[in-house]
Structures are given as structure tokens and as C-alpha cells.
Amino acid sequence: MSVISDEQLLLKSWQYRRNILKVIKHAGAGHTGGSLSCVDILNILYNRVLNVTPQNFSHPDRDRYVQSKGHSVEALFVVLADQGFFDESELETLCSYQSHFVGHPTRHIPGIEQNTGALGHGLPICVGAAIAGKMDQASFRVFTLLGDGELAEGSNWEAAMCAAHYKLDNLTAIIDYNNLQISGRTQDVCNNSPIDDKFAAFGWTVRAVDGHSISELTDALTTSPIPGRPTVVIANTVKGKGVSFMEDVAKWHHGVPNDVEYVQALEEIDRHLQARGILA
């Protein structure tokens, strides 16, 4: 993997945010808030951590990434396009008749490991993949991205227990911990706090980071795992991050900006790009 600087990653994050809004606006549908909250995580994963490329995607030794919070697929699509899995123009077909680019990940799309969207499946699937890796003495690592609201699904806790039991140090779960789920505050809908103590009690290594910090995400995702223990990275994030009026507001879970909001959102993002000399 080529070396990419923090500054280049920062630029990518803003460009990804711009593209997420563009495809959601064009489609007239999408999960805006959750895509903006996890896109920095995907940025670091695909540009710094994962051994996954269009060229090696069918190779058994590739790393596995399963986006369990499948509704934030627009972030994944934008990052996969940037990685060269398909042409960015294909995203203009999102949610249109006969397009494979639908509102959740499917394996019809190059670069997508698993169909997800029904919450609570990514971690169990990844436990299976990590066990398979151990049985084969393979070197690949397995990553999954969960939402904080998604942790209400009981399947996660069965998987968490198994991961520790089978000593899956090749498995990393990242929680996009934005404190919101579909209908309001996660702590009001189904409180999972204290999440760090819960995973520690299940036998996991716990790392908590600012989920929008390139350096903190890089550290957490590139530090070698403690032998015999799965790792959870609690990424503290802001839903809707990067667009002032979308930040930490539940209605942007699947809100689509109207024309005025869209212009305002792009202006906010473009100010960051202009500051870095990318836009005139």
C-alpha cells in the first residue's frame, strides 16, 4: 500500500463528505447522518489499514471488512469508488431501477464482502471469518463496523462472547459511537453504557478514540492486537459530522437535504477544501 500523509487523508475525508452528499441528493434517498459519522473510519481503513484492493479482492489472503451498519452504504460506495473498485459515475444510478447500487451493501457491488443492513449480523459473520482464518493459519485480519444503536441486537453479544472464547486476535470490531440511532438518543432507546466495561468483561481489548481523528484512528487500527484477544475500537463520533445543521440531529439519520440545505452543506465543506487550496 502506498504511503499517504495525514494531510492527504484529511483532504480525502472532505472530498468523501462532498461525494456522499452529492450521491444522496442525486438519488433523493440515503442515510446521511451515519455516512458522515463513519466516513473518517472508512478513510483510514481503506487508505492505511486494509490489505484490500480491486486486484486482490478474490484472493484468500485479503483482509475482510464487513460493514455491519449497512445503512451507511453511501460512505462505503464513495470510498470504494475512490479505491478504484468501480467508476464514480456509477453512483449516479443509486436507487434507480435495475441498478445494483441500492440502499444497503450487496455482493453485486465490487469490493463488498457481505450483504448487510439487517443489523446485528456483521460481527457474527466476522467471528466465523476470523475462526476460518485461524483454522487455515492465514495472515488476514477481519474488521467490522457496528453502530452504537446496533448493539441492541442480541446477536452481537453472542458473537462477542465467542470471539473471546476462540481467542480471535485477528478480529477488530469498530463501533461508530455517535450516541444516536434511528429514532433518538441511543441511551434513551436501549442504553448500552458503559460499553467499554461490557466489552472488557467479555474478554476484549478495548481502545477508545476520537472517531474523526486521523492520528487516533490510525494508532488504534494499526497497533498490534494483544495476543489471544479480539479488539474493539470505540470510535466516538458525531452523527452528520462536517455539516453544521446535520450534526447530532436524529432526523438526519436518513434525511435528504432540500436544494437550499444542499447548497449550504456544500459551501461548508468547500470552505475546508478551499482552505487547503483544493478549490478556488
Ligand X SMILES: Cc1ncc(C[n+]2csc(CCOP(=O)(O)OP(=O)(O)O)c2C)c(N)n1
The residues that touch ligand X, with contacts defined as CB under 6 A, are 34, 37, 69, 71-72, 117-120, 147-150, 153, 176, 178, 180-182, 186, 239, 253
User: How many DSSP H helices and E strands does the chain contain?
Assistant: 9, 5
Residue nearest to ligand X (CB): 147
Q: Which of 219, 203, 215 is nearest to 169 (CA)?
A: 203
Cα distance between residue 178 and residue 174, in whole Å: 12
The burial class, CB within 10 Å (0-12 / 13-18 / 19+), for 256 is middle
Residue whose CB is less far from Mg ion, 36 or 168: 36
Q: How many residues bind Mg ion (CB under 5 A)?
A: 6
On the CB side of 118, CA atoms within 13 Å amount to 7
Distance of closest approach, residue 245 Cβ to ligand X, in angstroms = 17
Name the phi and psi angles at 185, rounded to 5. -65, 135
Cα distance between residue 161 and residue 170, in whole Å: 15
Chain-centre distance for alpha carbon 74: 10
Residue whose CB is less far from ligand X, 90 or 196: 196
Contacted by 118, from ligand X, Mg ion, none: CB < 5 to 8 Å by type:
ligand X
Residue whose CB is less far from Mg ion, 132 or 182: 182
Cα distance between residue 238 and residue 149, in whole Å: 14
Distance of closest approach, residue 178 Cβ to Mg ion, in angstroms = 4
Distance of closest approach, residue 268 Cβ to ligand X, in angstroms = 20
Q: Which of 74, 203, 60 is nearest to 140 (CA)?
A: 60
| Site track for Mg ion across 139-178, x = CB under 5 A | --------xxx----------------------------x
Distance of closest approach, residue 186 Cβ to Mg ion, in angstroms = 6
Cα distance between residue 122 and residue 135, in whole Å: 20
Distance of closest approach, residue 20 Cβ to ligand X, in angstroms = 13
Confirm or reject binding of residue 211 to Mg ion (CB under 5 A): no
Chain-centre distance for alpha carbon 97: 26
Residue whose CB is less far from ligand X, 131 or 180: 180
Distance of closest approach, residue 123 Cβ to ligand X, in angstroms = 12
Contacted by 205, from Mg ion, ligand X, none: CB < 5 to 8 Å by type:
none
The three grid cell numbers given for residue 26, joined into one nine-digit string? 442525486
Specify whether the CB–CB gap between 156 and 23 falls below 8 A: no
Contacted by 27, from ligand X, Mg ion, none: CB < 5 to 8 Å by type:
none
Residue whose CB is less far from ligand X, 77 or 140: 77
Q: Which residues bind Mg ion (CB under 5 A)?
A: 147-149, 178, 180-181
